Structure 1
Amino acid sequence: MATPDRQATTLALAHALSAAERGLAVIPLSRTKLPALRSPHRDHATSAAPTTTTTPATPATPASAPAPPPVTCHGECGRFGHGVYDASTEPARIRELFAAAPWATGYGIACGLSPHHLIGVDLDTKSGTDSSAALRELALRHLFTIPETVVVLTPSGGRHVWLAGPPDVVVPNSASRLAPGIDIRGAGGYLVGPGSRTEHGVYATAPGTAHLTPAPCPPALLRLLLPPPRAPHPAPPPAGDHGKGLVQFVLAAHEGQRNTRLFWAACRAYENGIGPALVAPLIEAARNTGLSEREARATIASAARMTRHRP
């Protein structure tokens, strides 16, 4: 357990209470930017596993022991240690959270909660890309502007742009889905609050933005943040078991593997002489997993070139 830094904890608590006054639900964070309170269910699997006493003549058979049930508690147990589910705007509860975590040096702000329904646009610098330029390019391409809003500067040189979402829309968390170096903090996520001290330095509000409230997210940007609706009945693939299997392989892709699966399927299609016939079904399948048509066509064209076929 970390050694308490009373001054840092006192400052973090003061900043957290100030954020709560603005309607932002908070939790204490450690210097690693992780929730400071460990889960009360962390050792559940160990404690729930049966204890077996054996002798050399009767060896244990742990494979036959029933597995402990998974823990899905989101704070219903009444104890602290459930991450953003502990977040609160109540001063008394916030003080209790920090009293239970005297090693906390920062605080996290839960996203997606009323009244602001906060969305965090995290412009990272560690990826080696210019994420700010990537955001400007997205804004030009999709015809939106980032309004004047709260901006938090990170110790690594990045920025957190705070935006407010509609109350009836759930924005998911994502990493580099919009562009390399742009992460989104939405429902179930949190942002490190200004005034927090971490292993790498202190988070601070950008000059001239501390007095602002999170500005509404531009509709065009909001559409980019939401997963595309899945078609209820994807277009059937062309006849042939192999073609159908390749399309189903793409449809089963999860975020983070969509391009890889599409590229692999397209390569197999061209190698087996059904590439041109499978282009449209593969694009439709890729769109149903969340890729844009442009991304899908570019990936399939790369597969065609790799297998020495003209796109």
Structure 2
Amino acid sequence: MATTDRQAGTLALAHALSAAERGLAVIPLSRSKLPALRSPHRDDPTPSPPSPCHGECGHLGHGVYDASADPHRVRELFAAAPWATGYGIACGLHPHHLIGVDLDTKSGTDSSAALRELALRHLFTIPETVVVLTPSGGRHLWLTGPPDVVVPNSASRLAPGIDIRGAGGYLVGPGSRTDHGVYGTAPGTAHLPPAPCPPALLRLLLPPPRPNPSDPTGADQGASHSQGQGHGLIHFVLTAQEGQRNTRLFWAACRAYENGLAPDLTNALIEAAVRTGLTEREARSTIASAARMSGRGRGHGQGR
């Protein structure tokens, strides 16, 4: 096993250096896909510093903030973590400003179909780009964003099973070996550069603009945005196929609670779910779960 791990570490470093040559900043990962270097502040007496260290202390172990495309720095990182069997690619950094679209397979939904549906609805196409195949059967699509736009990380906000890796996040690089298998590029995509993110998709990835209190039209714009978003959530539930109904309703209800739309949308979401084949009792139970998940059904001070 030790020999296998050493070989995996050597291969991981080679792949990481190859990625660095393309201008991608990397960090070593363990078999669990987590950063291989532990935080130097894990034993600090103050558990929650007012200003978290992002490497200003000069030590290694700050996760994605250690990431570098400098080959000397990459070798230093891997030398400090000889047990590493993979590498992570930091998103949102110069020169690529990488955005990762993670199409998961563990959510019980067809995330690829959900992305195609979003593309049809919002009139964009997914360009040819690097595609990384995960051991579980998922896919990572590599896209690039504008240098002046910060894309946040999100989990299933765009649609069930679609996670976004943006600024402060990372993607497991191809060639990495994990507890579940090896990551690799899809045939015919390894030579491609990351493609620019379509503008319509980029707008979906960004948080909605906050209304300006000094703008006399802000309230009307906010109401219009909320109304449009509400119709979109209801449509999302109505178009659910068998096997997707609970998941889609749960996702839509979570978005409604997060955006303050639940009081106006609950009955409409229940009606839409019943039209897809759920019972009213099932629909109300799913929406209640979404309320708890969104913090509307928890007691104060209780977290997950």
TM bucket (normalised to shorter chain) is 0.7 to 0.9
User: 1:158 pairs with 130, 135, 138, which one?
Assistant: 138
Pairing 1:144–2:111 present: no
Q: How many angstroms does 1:3 deviate by? A: 9.8
Q: Cα distance 1:290–1:164, how it changes in 2: closer, same or farther (>3 A)?
A: farther
Q: What is the distance in 2 between the residues matched to 1:303 and 1:18?
A: 51
1:79-228 alignment runs, 5 A limit: 79-228=59-208
User: 1:301 pairs with 268, 273, 290, which one?
Assistant: 268
Structure-2 residue corresponding to 1:267: none
Q: Which amino acid aligns with 1:299?
A: T
Q: Deviations over 1:153-177 (max 9, x none)?
A: 0000000000000000000000000
Q: Cα distance 1:41–1:4, how it changes in 2: closer, same or farther (>3 A)?
A: farther
Q: Which amino acid aligns with 1:128?
A: G
Q: Deviations over 1:134-184 (max 9, x none)?
A: 000000000000000000000000000000000000000000001000000
Q: What is the distance in 2 between the residues matched to 1:205 and 1:262?
A: 36
Q: Can you give the 5+ residue segments of structure 1 that lack an aligned partner in the other structure?
A: 49-66, 237-255, 264-285, 307-311
Structure-2 residue corresponding to 1:31: 31
Q: What is the distance in 2 between the residues matched to 1:8 and 1:71?
A: 36
Pairing 1:17–2:11 present: no
Whether the 8 Å CA contact 2:64–2:90 is kept in 1: the answer is yes
Q: What is the distance in 2 between the residues matched to 1:6 and 1:198?
A: 14
1:277-288 alignment runs, 5 A limit: none
Q: What is the distance in 2 between the residues matched to 1:77 and 1:4?
A: 34
TM-score of the superposed pair, with normalisation by structure 2:
0.72
Q: What is the distance in 1 between the residues matched to 2:120 and 2:270?
A: 30
Q: What is the distance in 1 between the residues matched to 2:256 and 2:156?
A: 18
Q: Cα distance 1:159–1:77, how it changes in 2: closer, same or farther (>3 A)?
A: same
1:237-248 alignment runs, 5 A limit: none
- SS of the equivalent of 1:140 reads helix
Q: What is the distance in 2 between the residues matched to 1:14 and 1:205?
A: 15
Q: What is the distance in 1 between the residues matched to 2:200 and 2:135?
A: 30
Whether the 8 Å CA contact 1:29–1:104 is kept in 2: the answer is yes
- SS of the equivalent of 1:177 reads strand
Q: What is the distance in 1 between the residues matched to 2:144 and 2:59?
A: 30
Q: How many angstroms does 1:104 deviate by? A: 0.3
Q: Which amino acid aligns with 1:214?
A: P
TM-score of the superposed pair, with normalisation by structure 1:
0.71
Q: Cα distance 1:261–1:181, how it changes in 2: closer, same or farther (>3 A)?
A: closer
Q: What is the distance in 1 between the residues matched to 2:78 and 2:187?
A: 28
Q: Cα distance 1:121–1:68, how it changes in 2: closer, same or farther (>3 A)?
A: closer
* RMSD of aligned residue pairs (Cα, Å): 2.9
Q: Can you give the 5+ residue segments of structure 2 that lack an aligned partner in the other structure?
A: 221-249, 275-279, 281-304
Q: Which amino acid aligns with 1:18?
A: S
Whether the 8 Å CA contact 1:23–1:116 is kept in 2: the answer is yes
Q: How many angstroms does 1:5 deviate by? A: 1.4
Q: What is the distance in 2 between the residues matched to 1:258 and 1:179?
A: 9
How many positions carry a matched residue from both structures?
Answer: 240
Identical pairs, percent = 81
The structure number with the bigger radius of gyration is: 1
